[in-house]
Chain A
Amino acid sequence: NAGVTQTPKFQVLKTGQSMTLQCAQDMNHNSMYWYRQDPGMGLRLIYYSASEGTTDKGEVPNGYNVSRLNKREFSLRLESAAPSQTSVYFCASSEAPGIYGYTFGSGTRLTVV
């Protein structure tokens, strides 16, 4: 039982490059989330998926897209990376939001130069 798995763990991109961050959970959770963490700003919600087939914007969606590929997988795509997207990205999932908390992945540290 791996929980929430994120790949890659580290990535350096040049401005304008694109990439996809992968997230998979093996807990049969319906809800999945992408957050970014910046110093002094806590965790900010980028996008979330309440269930397979649905996605919604969070607090900071600009510059990102998501795909809920199936119940297990929720990917985050940066189409044209900018230095402002340098951050640590966390994927999370929940069995029942509002009843149970999130289980977080180990994070992806992204640097855009």
Chain B
Amino acid sequence: GENVEQHPSTLSVQEGDSAVIKCTYSDSASNYFPWYKQELGKRPQLIIDIRSNVGEKKDQRIAVTLNKTAKHFSLHITETQPEDSAVYFCAAGGNKLVFGAGTILRVKS
């Protein structure tokens, strides 16, 4: 089955800096790669996703890149703000998703 690894487990950045979170997956049949943001005590919320026929997608300050050959995908957040502080999860799959273990992002002001 699918296995998703996520790095780093924690990330601290200064407000205004960029943050990058990386994930690798094992199953070449996976064709959908979403990213979720979860604030403390809240439900995960979809922030951006990418499908296997696309290499990059951007939405304002966030972007996701996918390298199918290497089986890895990354989340990029530019001009970080304190409200970006949360746990971020990557996931991979198709009709069902396997999630990474999460990255705690702290944005220091």
Contacts and interface: CB of A to CB of B under 8 A. Distances in A.
Interface in A91-113: 97-99, 101-107
Contact of B101 (A41, A58, A98): A41
Q: How large is the interface on B (under 10, 10 to 19, 20 to 34, 35 or more residues)?
A: 20 to 34
Given A42-B89, A42-B102, A90-B43, A33 B32 contact: no
B51 to A, nearest CB: 8
Contact of B95 (A31, A40, A41): A31
A21 to B, nearest CB: 15
A99 B93 CA distance: 10
Contacts of B89: 42-43
A44 interface: yes
Contacts of B44: 43, 90, 102, 104
B62 to A, nearest CB: 14
Nearest to A41: B101
Contacts, number: 60
Contact of B43 (A40, A44, A98, A105): A105
Contacts of B1: 59
Interface in B1-54: 1, 6, 9, 31-32, 34, 36, 42-46, 49, 51
Interface string B74-101: 0000000000000001010111111111
B97 A45 contact: yes
A50 interface: yes
B3 to A, nearest CB: 10
Interface of A: 31, 33, 35, 40-45, 48, 50, 56, 58-59, 90, 97-99, 101-107
